[in-house]
Amino acid sequence: MKQLLILSGKGGTGKTTIASGLIKLAEVKAYADCDVDAPNLHLSINQNTDPHVSDFYGLDLANINKETCILCGKCFDNCRFHAIKFDEYYEVDPYACEGCSVCEYICPVNAITMKERVIGVTKVYSNYHVFSTAQLRMGSGNSGLLVTEVKKGLAPYKNKCNLSIIDGSPGIGCPVIASISGVDMILVVAEPSLSGYHDMLRIIKTSHGFPSIVSVCVNKCDLNKKLTDDIINYCTENKIPFLGTLPFDERVLETINNGLTIADMDSPLKHDLEEILEKILNILDLKGDKNL
């Protein structure tokens, strides 16, 4: 099973909008949402089954037994993350604790123990297809590890279909790097703005550290034709496959709010997305494959 990852380098480019449209057009049986901080692919790709939900554990959380604590202050003095607070007694700030266990190690009366901490959940919907997603708890870290768990959720369909589509996170941080690892092709969704152009360059540079094929398309291309041309010229000069442009369409917002995708629209936008999908399948050598 080949994996196509949709990235953007920044939020708001229409990455999820395009990902959901490609999923619908290609009728893929395996897809995932790796934007674990703010997943929203499920809003456009409705599920008719209950998911299998599993807790996801991060680093352990320090816990201070107030009855045992002798208020010596060693934990407070040695916590480099400033996660120990004092107000009549010592307690741990769960948002600041990194689970390093130094406080447990130095406590002279063993008043501190490390306890498991649930920092998110994974959800896998499975019937005739599989949809893997997750939600990280607010303020929690380790989103890269959770992204890896989301991708593992597609494993049962590895030999049942030939293409999976993954909606990645914005930016270039840890969750994006975890999303890129192991995928066959990356589609960078750029927008014709100064920040969009700059962040496209950042995500392309990040992607070059991996063996994945990197390609680009421009969403809302008619909002700034000069920058759209600049993006196309950059791709041409650097031998990056440019797959096409998508125009701005005010009806997209209403379509998404109704729980549909741009593949459900009667619009030139759908035709343009079909051409992008055809090029993707050509690059992945999947054109004509009936088992997507």
pLDDT in tens, 193-228: 999 999 999 999 999 889 999 999 999 999 999 999
pLDDT per residue as tens digits for the range 29-87: 999 999 998 899 998 888 888 999 999 998 899 999 999 999 999 999 999 999 999 99
**Are 65 and 169 contained in the same domain?**
no
CATH code at 8?
3.40.50.300
Mean pLDDT of the chain: 92
Which pLDDT value is given to residue 290?
A: 66
Residue 142: is its pLDDT beyond 70? no
Residue 82 belongs to a domain with what CATH number? 3.30.70.20
Residues 174 and 65 in one domain: no
Indicate whether 159 pLDDT > 90: no
| Domain enclosing residue 95, as ranges | 59-117
pTM here is 0.90
Place of tokens 């997943």: 39
